Amino acid sequence: MEQTKFLDDLKGIISKAFDYSEKARRKGLLSLEDDIGYSDGRENLLNFGLQFVIDGSDGVFVDKLLSNIISHETDPKEKVLKTIQKEAVLSIQAGANQILMLQLLISYVDGETLNALKEIFADNKEIVNYIR
């Protein structure tokens, strides 16, 4: 996977997870139903996992399901993206604070990618202030 696509995908995942987390904490998990739609888990693990969370599935089940899908990924960057999506799903399900969730998500990337994220999110003070 090309670095530019990786960073674009990562930005999208972090932005959605941040927004979904805020909405779920304010309005409840069911409020995400219209936002996520239904998707194939191999393409969009965040939305796929949230489908099960919204339906009330147990966190252990969701973790195992998403981990199984990730285990089949052969591209290292895709594996990181999918792992970050899984962690976002589990954090949202647990009702984790957005800032704590963000810290967990960015812990999966190296320093170079972290610096790139700071630049990418420069116009989003709500997120960039917590990327460290």
Helix, strand, coil distribution of the chain in percent, nearest 5: 75, 0, 25
Which amino acid would we find at residue 1? M
Domain count, the chain: 1
Alpha-carbon distance of 37 to 119, in angstroms, equals 30
Q: Which residues contact 80 (CB under 8 A, 6 or more apart)?
A: 108, 109
12-60 pLDDT, tens per residue? Answer: 999 999 999 999 999 999 999 888 876 655 678 999 999 999 999 999 9
CA neighbor of 63 nearest in space, from 78, 76, 45, 75:
45
For 65, the domain range is 3-128
| Residue 8: Cβ within 10 Å count | 12
pLDDT score, position 42 = 63
